[in-house]
Amino acid sequence: MSFDFNGKKVLVTGAGKGIGRAIAIALNEAGCKVYALSRTKSTLDTLVAEHPKIVPILADVSNWDDTRRKLEDLEPLNGLVNNAGILGESCSAVDCPRDEIIKILDINLLGAINCAQLVAKKMIDAKVKGSIVNISSVAGIGACYSYLPYNVSKAGLDMVTKQFALELGPYQIRVNSVNPATVVTPMVTNLKNTAKGLTSQTPMGRVAKVEEVVWPVLYLLSDYSSMVTGQLHPVDGGLLSNIAVKYDFSK
């Protein structure tokens, strides 16, 4: 299966590095006009230097009003990838401070809602069929220790996916989540112990490569998934299926 996005226009948030950067590059190489949004100018500059056709947008999705100003003149798009997000600081659920919770929700959840509203309204007004993909996490489906704000933000994002899918379906705009487990990105290099622990519980015995998240995103943006909406798509090597208990039931 090959993806042809010639004539398509897609906005990717958090496109400066990691999964977002890889998605932006893959779409660009498939013929898509890519708008790449990041809050970090240096990473945007290197992205455009490597791929001159990509259109950079310098914005911080945690700033609701500024993001709206930066995107208000954007042409109607065929797709949006809400990838911008941060993990935040490790803290127990009972000790997590309010400021940390709000910071994560502003970026991971409210930022995605804001971008989805803007892009979807332009799609509706222009009568453009389209697709929105939210980069969520398995942490939004199953709880994991010490990251309450992140887990809650991703669980909320999955409900955003379902709610927008419900309300945008009549306009032929599809909305889905891709829910990776640990992926080999620069952020994960600082979480070696976490990655090791998850790998030991993953049936496939490894963490995902970036391209293994990119491919499902391209599928959901493409016409190959024309009847798929409101769905969560874990990319976890079977992690969520592992409920093994070390007990001999034959006794």
Mean pLDDT along residues 194-212: 81
Q: How confident is the model at residue 204 (pLDDT cuts 50, 70, 90)?
A: confident
Residue 12 in contact with residue 218, Cβ under 8 Å? no
Write down the domain spans for the chain. Answer: 9-241
Q: What is the pLDDT of residues 119-153, one digit of tens each?
A: 999 999 999 999 999 999 999 999 888 999 999 99
Active site residue 154: yes
Q: Which fold, 9-241?
A: Rossmann fold (3.40.50)
Q: Which of 33, 154, 192, 247 is catalytic?
A: 154
Reported as a single tens digit per residue, the pLDDT across 64-113 is 999 999 999 999 999 999 999 999 999 999 999 999 999 999 999 999 99
> pLDDT tens digits for 214-236?
999 999 999 999 999 999 999 98
Q: Which residues pair with 235 in a beta bridge?
A: 180
- Residues 35, 147, 150, 219: which is the catalytic one? 150
Active site residue 103: no
- Per-residue confidence band for 243, with pLDDT thresholds at 50, 70 and 90: low
Give the model's confidence band at 186: pLDDT under 50 very low, under 70 low, under 90 confident, else very high: low
CA 200 distance to own-chain centroid: 25
